[in-house]
Structure 1
Amino acid sequence: MSTVSQRSASSPRELNRVGDRVSFIYLERCTVHREDNAITATDTDGVTHIPSATIGTLLLGPGTRVTHQAMSVLGECGAGVAWVGEQGVRFYAGGRALTRSSGLAEAQATAWADRRTRLEVARAMYRLRFPDDDPSDRTRQQLLNMEGRRLKECYRRESARTGVPWHRREYHRGDFAAGDAPNQGVTAAAQCMYGIAHAVVSALGCSPALGFVHSGHEQSFVLDVADLYKTEVAIPAAFDAAALGGEDVATRTRRALRDRINRTDLLSRCVRDIKSVLGYDASRDPADARDHVSLQSDGNRHVDGGRNYGDEPIW
């Protein structure tokens, strides 16, 4: 009889692409365990089986307990895991990359390391937000001003569309219930979007920390990616939920957001956008699922790994 520790990790070709997965699944007041390559959620209603390879991000709400074996299979499948709560909506995430290639990570690091290319990537991100206004000659300060005006206009527009009163954006750290209904919805939607973006970033093998708009935080790039879809997906879902009343706004927001994400195929779009803003050439990806490890030599040359070169010439 095999044990969990003896099972080999799945190769990328055996796993669902991140763009083909369920955006996120929210669980609360249950115990999460593993059975074969599925996770199980056990609560007072019984046991629910969830194929782990179909999960984009698993959101663990209040009252959840998760076993080591469950986390092991989620990590092997590259699923993001976020602990979320009613008070402050805390967020943590992790997972193993679905790719074995370092290509995207190297492209990200190369673009980030040079101040000029870092600004070019930031402008490419703003170009996705402002398709009718070319930001090629805008400074960072001008880009931030554009984004601020865009958010204010989005809040006004969604307030008028749904009839939900809006005063200003307020986030009370550690006291989720202190905000009014639309602010609670916006906070809940933002945390869900951060979980999804973190899952995609990690699954592609990118660094969550190397941001181009945000900086100084371990999830800077996650925040960059999530903000691309804030006014189109997250904020409208929050106002739709708030329009139904002040009770259970966070729950309704998650459901509305999940529906929007699935309807718009956001995960696939997120993958495409990350590769696009980083200028990544997908043809560089290996055609098979084997690990490709090379050694760096002089003159930016790469030689085959897995062998001892000794004193013999490489070329």
Structure 2
Amino acid sequence: MATIGRRGMSSPRELTRMGDRLSFVYLERCTLHRDDNAITAEDAEGIIHIPSATIGTLLLGPGTRVTHQAMSVLGDSGAGVVWVGEHGVRFYSGGRSLNRSSALVEAQATRWANQRLRLDVAREMYRMRFPGEDPAGLTRHELLGKEGRRVKECYRREAARVGIPWNGRTYLPGDFTSGDPANQAVTAAAQCMYGIAQTTVTALGCAPGLGFIHSGHELAFVLDIADLYKTEIAIPIAFDVAAQSPEDVGSRTRRAIRDQVNQIGLLRRCVDDIKHLIVPNGAKGDPTGNDADRVTLQSDHGAEVESGRNHADNYAGEVDW
């Protein structure tokens, strides 16, 4: 058997599709190692094995230590790795794309670079978030205003549904405990959604920084995608958890989000939603359907030619090197 240092990267066919993975796995106060193509989590109670290719996002909570070999297999599997602070307010993620084709990121860049198409995508995102409303013809400023009102209404509605007071959204970066239980739960739910969205965006090979609503940040597109599920999933679950008890709100919210996103198959839906947004209607085929390594060279008039060969014989002019 090949040693870890000599073992090559897994091919796309050997990896679990993003839509079929666990949404995320949360670990704390343990040490992560590698055992073949699985990671092991060891603490005082024993060792558990987790196949790395089944993980969408791995959340590493307080007291976790991870070996270089564990990170190597997680990266090879395309799993996102998120270090979550004690208050769950910061994360750092990594992983490689499960999609070897550049077709999806090229489609994203094309729609992002065109102001009209970029606004079309923003309107479609609004339509997906708030069914029953038609944002056609709305300017960006009008979209932002309507979105803000709808989210405020969602907060008030969910607070009334579970019977807890709500004095508005308050969040102090770096200080999770500064908010009341409802605000803490909303923050924890949002962090989970960001991790899921970032893992999916990365796995599909999209550009995290090319957002259609958010901009100016390396994760602008991730924030766009996470917001698609804010009022449907994150906010209702956050208020349910906060209403149950003010104790241990962060971890209970994460578990509730995990259970719900697994139950509804959110990863598969997230993949489909991203493709729907950035692949033009009527496009033929799935740009991520071919998992073979295919590298071409760009020629004139949008043509692509075979790579890995010398094209000097096809060039009639003189080149002075």
1:88·1:172 contact (CA, 8 Å) conserved in 2? no
**Amino acid corresponding to residue 298 of structure 1 in structure 2:** D
Q: Which runs of 4+ in 1 moved over 4 A?
A: none
Residue in 1 aligned with 2:297? 295
Residue of structure 2 equivalent to 1:26: 26
> What do the CA deviations read for 1:165-207 (whole angstroms, capped 9, x no partner)?
2111011111111111010000011011000000000000001
* Partner in structure 2 of residue 89 of structure 1: 89
CA distance in 2, matches of 1:28, 1:59: 8
**2:268 alignment counterpart:** 268
Please state how far the C-alpha of 1:285 moved relative to its aligned partner: 3.4
- After TM superposition, give the deviation of residue 88 of structure 1 in Å: 5.4
Match of 1:126 in 2: 126
Question: Partner letter of residue 299 of structure 1?
Answer: H
Give the whole-Å Cα distance in 1 for the aligned partners of 2:114 and 2:287.
Answer: 24
2-structure distance, mates of 1:5, 1:29: 28
**1:243 is paired with a residue of what secondary structure?**
helix
- Partners of 2:285 and 2:42 in 1: CA distance: 43
Aligned partner of residue 291 in structure 1, secondary structure: coil
Residues 44, 238 of structure 1: alpha-carbon distance in 2 compared, 3 angstrom cutoff = same
Is residue 241 of structure 1 aligned with residue 241 of structure 2? yes
Structure-1 separation of matches of 2:62 and 2:276: 37
Structure 1 CA distance, aligned partners of 2:307 and 2:165? 61
Query: Whole-Å Cα distance in 1 between the matches of residues 305 and 276 of structure 2?
Result: 28
Alpha-carbon offset, residue 240 of structure 1? 1.3
Q: Corresponding residue for 1:306?
A: 308
Alignment map for 1:1-315 (pairs within 5 Å)? 1-87=1-87, 89-280=89-280, 281=283, 283-285=285-287, 288-313=290-315
SS in 2 for 1:4: coil
Q: CA RMSD in A?
A: 1.4
Q: Is the 8 A contact 2:23 2:57 kept in 1?
A: yes
1:284 CA drift (Å): 4.8
Offset from partner CA, 1:208-236 (integer Å, 9 cap, x none): 10000000000000000000000111111
Q: Deviations over 1:58-105 (max 9, x none)?
A: 000111111111111111111111111123521111111111000100
Q: Does the residue aligned with 2:47 lie in a helix, a strand or coil?
A: strand
Distance 1:303 1:209 in 2: 29
TM-superposition CA deviations, 1:96-137 (whole Å, max 9, x none): 111100010000011111111111111111110122111110
Change (3 A) 1:88 1:30: closer
Identity over aligned residues, as a percent? 65
Deviation at 1:279, TM superposition (A): 2.3
* Aligned amino acid, residue 309 of structure 1: H
Are the equivalent residues in 2 in contact too, given 1:108–1:278 (CA < 8 A)?
A: yes
Give the match's secondary structure for 2:82. strand
Measured in 2, the distance between the counterparts of 1:101 and 1:39 equals 28
- CA distance 1:104–1:246, change in 2 (3 Å): same
Aligned partner of 2:140: which letter?
R
Unaligned runs of 5+ in 2: 317-321
Query: How far 1:286 moved relative to its partner?
Result: 7.1
Alpha-carbon contact 2:108-2:279 (below 8 Å) kept: no
Equivalent-residue separation in structure 2 for 1:143 and 1:210 (angstroms): 19
* Distance verdict in 2 for CA 1:284–1:233, change over 3 Å: closer
Cα distance between partner residues in 1 of 2:288 and 2:83:
34
Task: Specify whether residues 88 and 28 from structure 1 end up closer, same or farther in structure 2 by C-alpha distance, changes over 3 A only.
Answer: closer
Residue 319 of structure 2: aligned partner: none
1:313 Cα offset (Å): 3.8
- CA 1:207 to 1:243, structure 2 compared with 1: closer, same or farther past 3 Å? same
Cα distance in 1 between the residues matched to 2:122 and 2:161: 31
Counterparts of 2:216 and 2:277 in 1: how far apart (Å)? 20
Conserved 8 A contact 1:88-1:173: no
CA contact (8 A) 1:156 1:166 kept: yes
Query: Greater CA deviation, 17-26 or 1-10?
Result: 1-10
Separation (CA, whole Å) in 2 of partners of 1:40 and 1:302: 45
Structure 2 counterpart of 1:222, one-letter code = V
Q: How many pairs does the alignment contain? A: 314
SS of the residue 2:81 aligns to? strand
Distance (whole Å) between structure 2 residues aligned to residue 298 and residue 310 of structure 1: 15
